[in-house]
């Protein structure tokens, strides 16, 4: 474990620290066309020598006092179900979905993939906050292909189409999110199942386990539960050779009393491992570097008009609780006031930078 603890005591040292950090410059715009064609944009490491500095004064170097990075802050894992033409408990109107994403972007939130969050691989511009998109049930409005002039294209009104559009508009709004589908008919277009799953992965999204056929894991036996989880993994791998589903969203949010098989199991030679088990409710999740982080019971926020905007307001009113990136995925930066909550085992190859805001001059 490489640990570099830097407690910044006075401005001179602070300046020295910054000069040791990589030089910042505005991010050159990415050609949006590249994103769609890229086989795995989430794995493509952007040049982290040029993080965006969102500081209002446009200065080029990260000013800790202005950016106030806090990589022990909380992270919202958003949960969507249907996205389409209606709005109710389990459905978000497509216009509202777009507004949700626009609002998140404007307020400094950027999507990251669940597996990157779990691994502590947060590669975002300085001053921004990660959030995680999850979509349950593989509904039609989440991802639809339509024919236009004889060519098959992503329906711009489906959630994936809206995300692609936002990614073109804002290059640092990466395509990321996990689709918790079930079988036999994810996204409800039987002629395009394979094509859609391949497209999602190539765009940078993830597929997650939601059991094979939306089994209620609280109502079936453990053996049936294991089978339901393994069959999903098996079927996904048949469509996507080599792809390992490794996170689980509980159907109906129901957790069985005996739950050891949620994290790993085996059925007829098919084994599975779930690095996270996602709940249905109802609050932000801890930073992956926080010693209270528990991916086996990861809370999600229902992304509707009430809950999403309530939590956005909460973080506006409690900015110290929000995860704020330092712009460098190789460094974990935390204020000294919360340092005791660090899970040092998660740092691995990452450097730790602790700063004392009270000792920095504004
Ligand atoms: Zn479901």
Where does the pLDDT of residue 358 fall: very low under 50, low under 70, confident under 90, or very high at 90 and above? confident
The reply to whether 2 falls in a domain is no
Q: How far apart are CA 27 and CA 25, in angstroms?
A: 6
Q: Is pLDDT above 60 for 21?
A: no
**For residue 202, how far is its CA from the centre of ligand 1 (angstroms)?**
24
Decide: residue 89, CB within 10 A, 0-12 exposed, 13-18 middle, 19+ buried: exposed
Q: How far apart are CA 53 and CA 176, in angstroms?
A: 22
Kindly give the pairing relationship between strand 301-302 and strand 76-80: parallel
CATH number, domain with residue 60: 3.20.20.370
The reply to whether 322 falls in a domain is yes
Mean pLDDT across the stretch 175-185?
98
Residue 285: C-alpha distances to residues 130, 179, 306 (Å)? 11, 19, 18
**For residue 277, how far is its CA from the centre of ligand 1 (angstroms)?**
13
The reply to whether 278 falls in a domain is yes
At residue 42, the pLDDT reads 39
Q: Is pLDDT above 50 for 255?
A: yes
The reply to whether 352 falls in a domain is no
Q: Is pLDDT above 80 for 12?
A: no
Within 10 Å of residue 61's Cβ, how many Cβ atoms? 17
Return the residue matching tokens 């339901």. 228
At residue 361, the pLDDT reads 60
**For residue 172, how far is its CA from the centre of ligand 1 (angstroms)?**
30
**For residue 214, how far is its CA from the centre of ligand 1 (angstroms)?**
6
Q: What is the residue range of 111's domain?
A: 14-326
Q: How far apart are CA 302 and CA 29, in angstroms?
A: 32
Compute the chain's Rg from CA coordinates.
Answer: 21
Q: What is the pLDDT of residues 105-140, one digit of tens each?
A: 999 999 999 999 999 999 999 999 999 999 999 999
**For residue 157, how far is its CA from the centre of ligand 1 (angstroms)?**
22
pTM, to two decimals = 0.84
In this structure, of 25-29, 85-89, 100-104, 158-162, the range with the lowest mean pLDDT score is 25-29
Residue 52: C-alpha distances to residues 37, 124, 317 (Å)? 24, 9, 24
What separation, in Å, do the N-terminal and C-terminal C-alpha atoms of the chain show?
A: 33
Number of domains comprising the chain:
1
**For residue 251, how far is its CA from the centre of ligand 1 (angstroms)?**
4
Q: How far apart are CA 193 and CA 84, in angstroms?
A: 19
The reply to whether 87 falls in a domain is yes
Token digits of residue 191: 């002629």
CA dihedral over 252, 255, 261, 264, signed as positive or negative: positive
Q: What is the mean pLDDT of the chain?
A: 87
Q: Is pLDDT above 50 for 44?
A: no
**For residue 48, how far is its CA from the centre of ligand 1 (angstroms)?**
37
**For residue 114, how far is its CA from the centre of ligand 1 (angstroms)?**
18
**For residue 219, how far is its CA from the centre of ligand 1 (angstroms)?**
15
The reply to whether 1 falls in a domain is no
Residue 114: how many CA atoms within 13 Å on its side-chain side? 30
CA dihedral over 210, 212, 218, 222, signed as positive or negative: negative
Report the percentage of the chain scoring pLDDT > 90: 80
The reply to whether 350 falls in a domain is no
Token digits of residue 273: 């491992």
User: Percentages helix, strand, coil for the chain, rounded to the nearest 5?
Assistant: 35, 20, 45
**For residue 179, how far is its CA from the centre of ligand 1 (angstroms)?**
11
Ion ligand 1 — residues with CB < 5 Å: 136-137, 251
Mean pLDDT across the stretch 164-170?
98
Question: Are the C-beta atoms of residues 179 and 158 closer than 8 Å to each other?
Answer: no
**For residue 34, how far is its CA from the centre of ligand 1 (angstroms)?**
33
**For residue 79, how far is its CA from the centre of ligand 1 (angstroms)?**
10
The reply to whether 340 falls in a domain is no
Question: Are the C-beta atoms of residues 173 and 166 closer than 8 Å to each other?
Answer: yes
**For residue 136, how far is its CA from the centre of ligand 1 (angstroms)?**
5
């Amino acid at each position: 474990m490489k640990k570099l603890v830097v407690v910044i005591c006075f401005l001179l040292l602070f300046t020295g620290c910054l000069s040791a950090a990589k030089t910042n410059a505005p991010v050159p715009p990415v050609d949006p066309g590249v994103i769609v064609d890229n086989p795995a944009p989430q794995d493509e490491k952007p040049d982290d020598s040029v993080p965006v500095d969102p500081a209002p004064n446009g200065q080029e170097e990260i000013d800790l006092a202005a950016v106030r990075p806090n990589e022990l802050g909380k992270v919202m894992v958003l949960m969507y179900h249907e996205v389409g033409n209606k709005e109710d408990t389990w459905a978000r109107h497509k216009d509202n979905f777009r507004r949700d994403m626009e609002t998140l972007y404007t307020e400094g939130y950027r999507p990251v993939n669940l597996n990157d969050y779990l691994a502590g691989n947060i590669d975002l511009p300085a001053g921004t906050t990660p959030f995680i998109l999850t979509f349950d049930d593989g509904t039609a409005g989440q991802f639809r292909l339509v024919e236009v002039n004889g060519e098959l294209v992503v329906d711009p009104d489906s959630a994936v189409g809206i995300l692609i559009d936002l990614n073109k508009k804002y290059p640092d709004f990466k395509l990321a999110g996990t689709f918790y589908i079930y079988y036999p008919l994810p996204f409800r277009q039987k002629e395009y199942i394979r094509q859609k799953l391949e497209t999602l992965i190539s765009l940078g999204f993830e597929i997650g386990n939601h059991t094979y056929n939306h089994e209620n894991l609280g109502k079936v036996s453990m053996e049936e539960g294991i089978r339901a989880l393994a069959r999903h993994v098996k079927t996904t791998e048949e469509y996507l050779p080599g792809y390992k589903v490794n996170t689980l969203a509980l159907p109906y949010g129901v957790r069985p009393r005996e739950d050891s098989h949620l994290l790993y199991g085996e059925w007829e030679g098919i084994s599975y491992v779930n690095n996270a088990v996602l709940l249905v409710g109802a609050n932000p999740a801890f930073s992956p570097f926080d010693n209270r982080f528990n991916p086996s019971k990861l809370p999600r926020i229902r992304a509707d008009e009430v809950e999403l905007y309530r939590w956005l307001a909460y973080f506006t009113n409690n900015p110290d609780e929000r995860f704020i990136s330092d712009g460098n995925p190789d460094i974990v930066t935390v204020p000294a006031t919360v340092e005791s909550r660090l899970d040092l085992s998660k740092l691995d190859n990452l450097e730790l930078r602790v700063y004392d805001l009270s000792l920095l001059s504004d």
